Amino acid sequence: MSRWLLFLIAIVIGAAAGLYYGWVLNPVKYVDMTPDSLRIDYKTDYVLMVAEAYHAEGDLAVAVRRLAVLGDTPPAEIVANATLYAAQHGWPETDLVQIKTFGDALQSWNPVLGVPTP
């Protein structure tokens, strides 16, 4: 047999053994993962989705509850961080406007009353 054929056979056997080990014998186990452990880019995507839902529904209380899964950080701060990240990484202007509009609505949010303040 040629050296190239033996080399390819070794590569295929090694890849198959690696996949078997990684998927069957010792797969990754995710335990108690929460959304607040997401990277900032995924958190920003989530904030955009919440902002879009708020724009469609108009219910700020529901939007705040949706943001609560991202941790103990105040909702306005979560949205401010998302706005900053999106602006720094060249997100489309329509997305930025939607997140900023949502952030503006959160500035008047009164968590005690559960309604926006005038």
Closest listed residue to residue 103, CA positions, set 81, 70, 73 = 81
Domain ranges of the chain: 1-31, 35-112
Average pLDDT over the chain, rounded to an integer: 89
Residue 118: predicted pLDDT: 47
pLDDT band at residue 116 using 50, 70 and 90 as cut-offs: low
In 14-105 the beta strands, taken as DSSP E runs, fall at: none
